[in-house]
Structure 1
Amino acid sequence: MWKWLFSREAAPPPPVVLVPPLFDFPPISARNRMLHSAYDVTFGKMALASLFQDYFHQARHFTTRIMLKPIDDPHVDLIATVSGPLDRKPNNDSIMGDALFRWQSDVNDPHTFMDLYVSTSDPILQMRSCAYYPKYGFGAFGVFPLLLKKRESPQDYGLMGLRYGSGNLSFGVTLVPFAMKDEIPKSAWLVSKMGRVTAGVQFEPQKRSAKLSNLMNWSCALGYGVGSGSPLCPSFNFNLELVKSSQFIASFYQHMVVQRRVKNPLEENSVVGITNYIDFGFELLTSVDDAIAANNISDSTFQIGASWQANKNFLLKAKAGPRSSSMALAFKSWWKPSFTISISATRDRADGKMQYGFGIQSENLREASYQRADPNFVMLTPSKEHLAEGIVWETGKRPMFQSDVDAGHFDVLPRELRPFDKIL
């Protein structure tokens, strides 16, 4: 009898799905979004900028970046960047360097902060600050260049802004505090969201004492979006924008979350699948002003791009346009600190030459790792593993339920997988 009791094997653990963290989520640009108008960061603009720019290095150039956060004080961090051409020339003045020291009031809320920026080019020293009160929705921000080689306009002495933000409405104004008495605000915006539809207008005068009736000072946009800001939620948005009655921009961006089977000898036998992230984007820009179009050989352009994150270590991106096409491959090791090595190749359609760019990055701003998810709630494709019994794969930890994600309950998720914005 005792032999029979001790010979019984423990029940095998339930099958799970690996959920890797995104390479860069939230993106670095999201930390500074309160310094810009809501019009400039909504309508899929941040997502498209990340898709078309991140890890696509300038041809025959290198980029080195270090992002550090002290262990004793997680409220501060430092980002230093050095970039320049790959050509071996002595005393090459084109090598640029800059550093950004940032203090953030709340570790989980990037909307209240202050930072100091130093650079080898203008501005040599710049201070930025933002204070936002989520309870009331009001905030204030300022950008002040402290050291410049030359100050030619009132804007070189600094900018200030006031804003209001909620889940469905955002409006604000940007002022030049040292401007002339008769000078109007530098910009003003109003963005509203009604269900899945987002609409906004922005006023940016081209010269002093510009009239509100001049349509060349106005931009307007209309967007339709589905999904949330969480990487675990598929999302889609389509946007139309008319910029100062001279340019028309149409774009769309789609984030897909898919699962595929995996047989990895380095993982446990209970791992039956892995989550992948696939992104698509398209942007079309064309001129609607005959005077502007007459002065440009090509008055319209477009670009299309896609990215595929196979796991937590590899990211593949590609984009194409009428002038060139590019591909980028990035590898990230999630050590402490983590290291990212990336290479991009660009082919110019005019001469057919292939040129390369390189980048290396080290950071300890995030502590991301694989998450284990119950396939009963996360697997999108029905399978035999879908019928597995049991929902807890590690004692003391709650699994990620797809029902919670769909309902918008992100508190049970790691910070890396939560939406990065709770305001418009």
Structure 2
Amino acid sequence: MGGLFSSTKAPPPPVVLVPPLFDFPPLAARTRMLESSYNMLFGKLALRGLFEDYFDAANRFSTVFMLKPIEDQHVDLIAIVSVKRVSFMFLRDADEPHTFTDLYVSSSDPILLMRACAYYPKYGLGAFGNFPVLKKQRVCSEDYGTLGLRYGSSNLSFGATLFPYSLGDNFLKSAWLVSKMGRLTTGVQYDPQFEKKDDAKYKNLKNWNYAIDYGIGSGSPLSPSFNFGLEFAQNSQFIASFYQHVVVQRRVKNPLEENEVVGITNYIDFGFELLRRINDQKELNNIQDSTFNIAASWQANKNILLKGKVGPLSSSLSLSFKSWWKPSFSFSVSAIRDRTIGKTSFGFGLRVDNVREASYQRADPNFVMLTPNKEYLAEGIQWKSGKRPMLQSDVNSGNFDGVPRELRPLARIL
């Protein structure tokens, strides 16, 4: 009898917290099939999010609502109050995110824009269009809408955007070709913005853009990645960029956590962009002809994100707090230092989101998910004092290959 009463319950196994990223995938990925692949690849999408997201404009309070009704998963609405812009998206199939119709309402011109896209991953073929329904004036071909055709596979993408209601000879708006060979990606884009007297536009070198990129990309935000790219645009701009996403694990010494929580996964992002204009010597002293911007972010846990960026004219620091309710709420405050006038300003932002799903699938069978908020057993780590460094970039707690719906099917789209 005494042995029965003296038996004790086994202590719970150690746990590593694996929080979801603040915002993944980026909102631009939802409508990427309306864009040229040249504008989405070469680290451009990641750098745009690093340099722009959660940096609120000085002396402004920005508000963004991203809502999806629970009763119908085929529709969602995004309203950006600060710039008076609303988009309403309808998906034919919730599991096919690249076939949709979008109504885009804005206080600017056009007032009402209808966007549509159809993409068939099995064949790699797609079509898309932008059609201004309500517009104050229609004076050029673009005011009547654009139509695009594309082909995409895991290592090749090409397509063109056309003016179906062209008022003249300018029928082609743009065309692109992007190819991937291993870790190397190359691309060219024809964008006829500049005229050439008494000759064809395609002979004007300013209408051609070229890019080359080397890096390791991953569809999972819980896997490290990096990207280094070079671009020569409009025969006058040389752009060098670098972006790295690092996944690290650190020990947890937080009295608010349970005793079995021994570590947490953090995400650190770093990027820079160097732009150099190739013009006459008289213009080289202009600071706008040579710019260098650096940005970095650190997500300490699922609730806190710290970002900073430095440029030739100003510097910014942003601190964001996020709650993971359904929908989620995030509040951000930004400090902007304008070095030209020596003044510091502040901006604030509020975001409500239940469009993006903060969930990833686990691929390693050695780790068992305890709760839906991504807490995993840490038996495989054996995280004991003196056996592991406090900070490590080699995350060996499993390869998380889950891809958000907006990025599927990953293996068939470059």
- Shorter-chain TM band: 0.7 to 0.9
Structure 1 residue 67 corresponds to structure 2 residue 70 = no
Structure-2 separation of matches of 1:292 and 1:370: 58
Structure 1 residue 57 corresponds to structure 2 residue 20 = no
Give the structure 2 partner of residue 92 of structure 1: none
Where in structure 2 are the equivalents of 1:393-408 lying within 5 Å? 402=397, 404-405=399-400
Give the structure 2 partner of residue 394 of structure 1: none
Q: Deviations over 1:85-135 (max 9, x none)?
A: xxxxxxxxxxx4221111123434421111101122211111101110010
Give the structure 2 partner of residue 273 of structure 1: 263
How many angstroms does 1:291 deviate by? 8.0
Q: Deviations over 1:135-190 (max 9, x none)?
A: 01110000111111122211011011000111111000000111145224110000
Deviates more, 1:357-366 or 1:104-113: 104-113
Give the structure 2 partner of residue 345 of structure 1: 335
Structure 1 residue 370 corresponds to structure 2 residue 360 = no
Where in structure 2 are the equivalents of 1:71-150 lying within 5 Å? 71-83=70-82, 96-150=83-137
Match of 2:174 among 170, 187, 199: 187
Structure 1 residue 316 corresponds to structure 2 residue 303 = no
Q: Does structure 2 conserve the Cα–Cα contact (< 8 Å) formed by 1:229 and 1:419?
A: no
Where in structure 2 are the equivalents of 1:218-237 lying within 5 Å? 218-237=208-227
Q: Does structure 2 conserve the Cα–Cα contact (< 8 Å) formed by 1:232 and 1:417?
A: no
How many angstroms does 1:366 deviate by? 3.7
Change (3 A) 1:315 1:420: farther
Q: Deviations over 1:287-329 (max 9, x none)?
A: 1132894695631111000000000100000000110000011
Structure-1 separation of matches of 2:406 and 2:222: 7
Which amino acid counterpart does residue 142 of structure 2 have in structure 1?
Q
Which amino acid counterpart does residue 11 of structure 1 have in structure 2?
A
Give the structure 2 partner of residue 331 of structure 1: 321
Q: What 5-or-longer segments of structure 2 have no aligned partner? A: 359-371, 389-394
Which amino acid counterpart does residue 231 of structure 1 have in structure 2?
P
Structure-2 separation of matches of 1:136 and 1:418: 17
Instruction: Specify the SS of the correspondent of 1:249.
Output: strand
Change (3 A) 1:215 1:78: same
Q: Does structure 1 conserve the Cα–Cα contact (< 8 Å) formed by 2:38 and 2:176?
A: yes
Structure 1 residue 206 corresponds to structure 2 residue 196 = no
CA-atom RMSD in angstroms: 2.6
Instruction: Specify the SS of the correspondent of 1:302.
Output: strand
Where in structure 2 are the equivalents of 1:240-319 lying within 5 Å? 240-290=230-280, 293=283, 296=286, 298-319=288-309
Residue-pair matches, total: 391
Q: Does structure 2 conserve the Cα–Cα contact (< 8 Å) formed by 1:376 and 1:386?
A: no
Q: Does structure 2 conserve the Cα–Cα contact (< 8 Å) formed by 1:376 and 1:387?
A: no
Instruction: Specify the SS of the correspondent of 2:345.
Output: strand
Structure-2 separation of matches of 1:256 and 1:23: 15
Structure-2 separation of matches of 1:25 and 1:419: 13
How many angstroms does 1:19 deviate by? 0.4
What is the TM-score when the length of structure 2 is the normalising length? Answer: 0.88
Q: Percent of aligned pairs with the same residue?
A: 61
Change (3 A) 1:374 1:103: same
Which amino acid counterpart does residue 241 of structure 2 have in structure 1?
S
Structure-1 separation of matches of 2:281 and 2:148: 34
Change (3 A) 1:234 1:97: same
Instruction: Specify the SS of the correspondent of 2:84.
Output: strand
Which amino acid counterpart does residue 169 of structure 1 have in structure 2?
L
Structure 1 residue 20 corresponds to structure 2 residue 22 = no
What is the TM-score when the length of structure 1 is the normalising length? Answer: 0.86
Structure-1 separation of matches of 2:204 and 2:273: 27
Structure 1 residue 217 corresponds to structure 2 residue 207 = yes
Q: Deviations over 1:353-393 (max 9, x none)?
A: 0011111111222453631223355x5xx7428999xxxxx
Structure-1 separation of matches of 2:410 and 2:341: 43
